[in-house]
Amino acid sequence: MTKQYDICVVGSGAGAGPIIYTLSKAGFKVLVLEKGPWFKTKDFTKDEITAVRRSVYTPSLKDEPQVLETQNEKGNWIAKSNAETGNDFWNGNCVGGSSNFMSGYFNRLKPNDFKLKSVYGEIKGANIEDWPISYNDLEPYYTKVEKIVGVSGKVINHQFQEPRSTKDFPFPPLQENIVSQWIDDACAKLSIESVPLPRAILSRSKADRNACYYSNFCGSYGCGSNAKGSSRASLINEALKTGNCKIIPNAKVFYLKTDGNHKITEAHYHDKNNQTKIVKAAIFVVAAQAIETSRLLLMSKNQEFPNGLANNSGNVGKNLIFSAGGSGYGHFYYDNLNNEQIEALKKPGVFVNRTIHQWYEINDLEDKKLKGGTIDFLFEHANATKKAIGQKWDFEGNLLYGKDFKQQLKFYFTRQRRLNFEVFADWLPTDNCFVTLDPKVKDKWQDPVARIRLGYHKHDLKIGTYLAKKAEEILKQMGAKDTNFGVSGSAPSNLVAGGCRFGNNQKINVLDKNCKAHEVKNLYISDASFMPTGGSVTYTWTIYANAFRVADKILEKIKP
- 76-94, pLDDT tens digit by residue? 999 999 999 999 889 889 9
pLDDT at 1: 43
pLDDT in tens, 316-365: 999 999 999 999 999 999 999 999 999 999 998 899 999 999 999 999 99
pLDDT in tens, 114-159: 999 999 999 999 999 999 999 999 999 999 999 999 999 999 999 9
Rounded distance, CA 231 to CA 105, Å? 15
pLDDT at 3: 66
Q: Which of 173-177, 231-235, 392-396, 470-474 has the lowest mean pLDDT?
A: 392-396
CATH number of the CATH domain containing 317:
3.50.50.60
pLDDT at 253: 98
Sequence-separated (6 or more) residues with CB below 8 Å from residue 339? none
By the 8 A CB rule, do 77 and 70 touch? yes
Question: Taking each helix axis from N to C terminus, what angle separates 179-189 and 458-478, rounded to the nearest 10 degrees?
Answer: 100
Mean pLDDT of 289-307: 97
Structural domain including 235 reads 4-558
pLDDT at 128: 97
pLDDT at 2: 59
Residue 293's identity, in one-letter code, is T
Alpha helices (runs of H) in 226-270, residue ranges in sequence order: 231, 237-240
Judge whether residue 175 has pLDDT over 50: yes
C-alpha gyration radius of the chain = 23
Average pLDDT, the chain: 95
Mean pLDDT of 476-498: 95
Would you give the DSSP letter of residue 198?
Answer: P
Q: Rounded to whole angstroms, what are the CA distances from 437 to 68, 518, 527, 553?
A: 11, 22, 20, 31
pLDDT at 394: 86
CA 110 to chain centre: 17
Mean pLDDT of 276-292: 97
Mean pLDDT of 216-223: 89
Judge whether residue 51 has pLDDT over 80: no
| Domain count of the fold of the chain | 1
Mean pLDDT of 170-184: 97
Mean pLDDT of 539-559: 96
Residue 395: band (very low, low, confident or very high) from pLDDT cuts 50, 70, 90: confident
Judge whether residue 376 has pLDDT over 90: yes
pLDDT at 80: 95
SS3 (DSSP) at 487: strand
The β-bridge relationship of strands 30-33 and 67-71 is: unpaired
Burial of 28 (0-12, 13-18, 19+ CB in 10 A): buried
Q: Which of 38-47, 136-145, 506-515 has the lowest mean pLDDT?
A: 38-47
Judge whether residue 47 has pLDDT over 90: no
Judge whether residue 446 has pLDDT over 50: yes
Judge whether residue 248 has pLDDT over 70: yes
SS3 (DSSP) at 71: strand
How many Cβ atoms are within 10 Å of 70's Cβ, its own excluded? 18
